Homo-oligomer: A and B are copies of this chain.
Amino acid sequence: MDDPAFEAALRAIAADRARGAAELGRAALSLLADAVQTLPAQNRSELRQRLQERANRVAGCRPSMAPVSNLVGQWLRGPDAPAGRDDEDVPTLRRRYRVWARELIERSELAGELAAANAAEYIGPGRTLLTHSRSATVLSVFRRLAGRGTSALVSESRPLNEGLVLARELAALGISVCLITDAQLGLAVGEADAVLIGADSLLPDGGVLNKCGTYPLALAANDHRVPFIVCCERFKRRPPQMGPPELEVMDPGELGYALPDGVTARNRYFDITPARLVTAWVDELGVHETYEPG
């Protein structure tokens, strides 16, 4: 992988509006695993240094998405050589980094699947679930509940309508799906047995960074006493030392129409739902009705 290919792949991750945070975290690892194979380096220390430079850029390319920096950071801290071995040659080290990336990708996928399994068991069959945006983990929960009387209310999730993609995926699973505008989320809560969402990041206090619109949806769920369930693996946890998260702002052109003269537009992708509005956090370890950091 040469420099231009690396830069193009990095830009693609930064611009990706279709995949969720965990998927992009894994894509970031794949990119670095590829890059490490061809980075010019005469010795181990040079390889590590060049890798560090690239990894820092990848880790920072989606500041609202904790899994990207978490997975890249964990990858960079490993791979540990077997005890007592620090004399491997550069090709061996390249290979070890590649294997380590694959292992972390698998751990991340497995964590997401376990979280989904825990959520499906917690929710049980025969429920109408309301969701917002598209989360691969939420899709996995629905996959486990398909054919068991589960139905879905799905918001379109402007500006790019990834809810429409999710609606198609759910219908393909045989789930009864009703699509609504984001503005109807408050109305739809009254028809739902629970709200189920994924997350782009979990904050150290249990707050949920997710597609904008999640926060007012959580308020409506609380106002209706409908459970508000967040399902995501622990790689989504933002480390306290990182400080407050940035809420990514995207191109207003995504709104899809020309703005009148004198009108500006804002396209902020994420909002933060305070922990007090969350009924349960479900992850690979189980269902947590209070949030414990770490």
User: Chain A residues in contact with chain B, CB under 8 A?
Assistant: 155-159, 161, 164, 167-168, 170-172, 174, 177-187, 211-213, 215-217, 219-220, 223, 247, 255, 257, 259-268, 271
Contact = CB atoms under 8 A, between A and B. Distances in A.
Interface of A is mostly: mixed
Of A171, A179, A257, A268, the most chain B CB neighbours within 10 A belong to A179
B264 A179 contact: yes
Contact of A262 (B172, B184, B260): B172
A171 B212 contact: no
Contacts of A174: 262
B212 A268 contact: no
A183 B164 contact: no
A184 B272 CA distance: 11
Nearest to A179: B265
Contacts of A185: 216
A261 B171 contact: yes
Contacts of A156: 158, 255
Contact of A179 (B158, B180, B259): B259
Contacts of A263: 167-168, 170-171, 177-179
Task: Kindly list the 7 A-B residue pairs having the minimum CB-CB distance in the complex, ordered from nearest.
Answer: A183-B213, A171-B262, A216-B216, A168-B260, A186-B216, A219-B219, A186-B215
B181 A255 contact: yes
Contacts of A187: 212, 215, 247, 268, 271
A213 B219 CA distance: 12
Contact of A184 (B177, B223, B264, B266): B266
A223 B221 CA distance: 14
Contacts of A179: 255, 259, 263-266
Given A158-B158, A271-B187, A177 B264 contact: yes
Contacts of A266: 178-180, 184
26 contacts: A156-B255, A158-B182, A158-B183, A159-B181, A171-B263, A178-B264, A179-B255, A179-B259, A180-B265, A181-B255, A181-B267, A182-B182, A183-B211, A183-B213, A184-B268, A184-B271, A186-B212, A186-B215, A186-B216, A186-B219, A186-B271, A187-B247, A187-B268, A216-B217, A216-B220, A219-B220
